[in-house]
């Protein structure tokens, strides 16, 4: 894996990253609606809206910590309030979680980058990842700073389960692959991947370090290469997004009925219930 540049800032999913692959493997029709037609419900699921808003607040908080001029005098909470209406309805719940995270966080680290999208080639296949945070921590040996990457998660469960939930996931394995490459390029020892987790039930915040078995990285790379090849092959067939294969077993999941079910059931007549988005409104031009 050869890591390259970091061209943009946004809290949306990266161009050819893990969210894209996971959506493809969940349901090809879901993938087409979300990544080809770029459709979103007029009102996102509350859990997803809360997570998106907390990410927006975290982005602006980190930009302030980095001393970025575009964040000078900016209130991260007001950036959350000004988010697109499809997620802004969850502002009050998200603000409480963001405040809890900001108030409880003890930061023995220095954030050096926030929400930057990186790209790499894995066996010739282009793969991207947007990293929430890139930071320097004191190395466990005390020999100086070590490089780490972090992600922000809100959870309805207990924080003690966060590590088990996310360690070994494609997203976090990919984050570690990019993090190791960036650390080598910058000349720092590698510290690891962490999750900034806050509970929607107790409003407790905890930074959780992930322990990911080494043998999983080869499997993750294989999954990325094979999924990208499948996606690209179907795209070359010029199949219309509406004709991508539907996976009926994915119509109901963790958050209830699929948000695109109306499109599958009623076709284009249901488009009035969705909005097309070019990118999240949190994009920052460098």
Q: Band of the pLDDT at 254, cuts 50, 70, 90?
A: confident
Q: The tokens of 48 are what?
A: 């997803």
How much is the mean pLDDT over the chain? 90
Give residue 241's pLDDT band: very low, low, confident or very high (50, 70, 90).
Answer: confident
> DSSP string of 162-227?
HHHHHTT-HHHHHHHHHHHHHHHHHT--EEEEEEEEEETTT--EEEEE----THHHHHHHHHHHHH
The reported pLDDT for the residue numbered 239 is: 84
At residue 255, the pLDDT reads: 72
**Beta-strand pair 145-155/190-199:** parallel
Query: What is the pTM for the complete model shown?
Result: 0.90
pLDDT, average across residues 148-176: 95
Which pLDDT does position 169 carry in this prediction?
A: 97
Tell me which residue of 209, 206, 195 sits closest to 104, measured CA to CA: 206
* The predicted structure's pLDDT at residue 107: 74
Would the pLDDT of 5 be above 50? no
Q: Which of 153, 159, 200 is nearest to 172 (CA)?
A: 153
pLDDT exceeding 90 applies to what percent of the chain? 80
pLDDT in tens, 211-227: 999 999 999 999 999 99
DSSP at 14: P
**Who contacts 109 (Cβ-Cβ below 8 Å, separation ≥6)?**
135, 136, 137, 148
pLDDT, mean of residues 149-170: 94
pLDDT > 50? residue 127: yes
How far are the Cα atoms of 30, 53, 148, 259, 270 from residue 39, in angstroms, in the given order? 10, 19, 34, 10, 11
| Contact by Cβ (8 Å): 50, 90 | yes
Residues in a beta bridge with 274: 41
Would you place residue 52 in the very low, low, confident or very high pLDDT band (cuts 50, 70, 90)?
A: very high
Residues 45-64 have a mean pLDDT of: 95
CA torsion, points 116, 62, 135, 121, in degrees to nearest 10? -10
Q: Are 208 and 197 spatial neighbours (Cβ–Cβ below 8 Å)? A: yes
Residues 6+ apart with CB under 8 A from 30: 23, 247, 250, 258, 260
Confidence class of residue 284 from pLDDT cuts 50, 70 and 90?
A: very low
* pLDDT tens string 164-178: 999 999 999 999 999
Residue 204 has pLDDT above 50, yes or no: yes
Write b or e for each residue in 166-202: b if 16 or more Cβ atoms lie within 10 A of its Cβ, otherwise e: bbbbbbbbbbbbbbbbbbeeeebebbbbbbbbbbbee
Sheet of 145-155, strand order: 2-3, 109-122, 125-138, 145-155, 190-199, 205-209
pLDDT of residue 1: 59
pLDDT at residue 285 tops 50 = no
């Amino acid at each position: 894996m050869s890591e390259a540049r970091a061209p943009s800032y946004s809290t949306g999913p990266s161009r050819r990253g893990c969210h894209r692959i996971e959506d493809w493997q969940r349901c090809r029709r879901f993938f087409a609606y979300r990544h080809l037609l770029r459709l979103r419900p007029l009102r996102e699921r509350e859990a997803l809206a809360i997570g998106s808003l907390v990410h927006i607040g975290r982005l602006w908080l980190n930009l302030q910590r980095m001393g970025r001029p575009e964040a000078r005098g900016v209130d991260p909470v007001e950036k959350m309030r000004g988010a697109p209406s499809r997620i802004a309805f969850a502002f009050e719940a998200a603000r409480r979680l963001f405040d809890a995270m900001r108030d409880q966080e003890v930061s023995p680290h220095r954030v050096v980058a926030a929400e930057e999208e990186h790209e790499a080639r894995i066996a010739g296949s282009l793969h991207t990842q947007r990293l929430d945070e890139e930071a320097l921590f004191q190395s466990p040996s005390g020999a100086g700073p070590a490089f780490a990457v972090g992600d922000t998660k809100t959870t309805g469960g207990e924080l003690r389960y966060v590590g088990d939930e996310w360690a070994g996931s494609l997203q976090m394995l990919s984050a570690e692959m990019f993090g190791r490459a960036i650390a080598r390029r910058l000349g720092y020892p590698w510290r690891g991947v962490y999750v900034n987790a806050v509970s929607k039930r107790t409003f407790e915040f905890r930074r959780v370090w992930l322990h990911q078995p080494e043998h999983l990285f080869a499997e993750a790379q294989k999954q990325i290469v094979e999924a990208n090849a499948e996606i690209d092959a179907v795209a070359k067939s010029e199949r219309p997004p509406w004709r991508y294969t539907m996976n009926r077993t994915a119509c109901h999941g963790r958050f209830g009925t699929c948000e695109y079910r109306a499109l599958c059931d009623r076709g284009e007549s249901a488009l009035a219930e969705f909005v097309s988005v070019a990118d999240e409104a949190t994009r920052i031009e460098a």
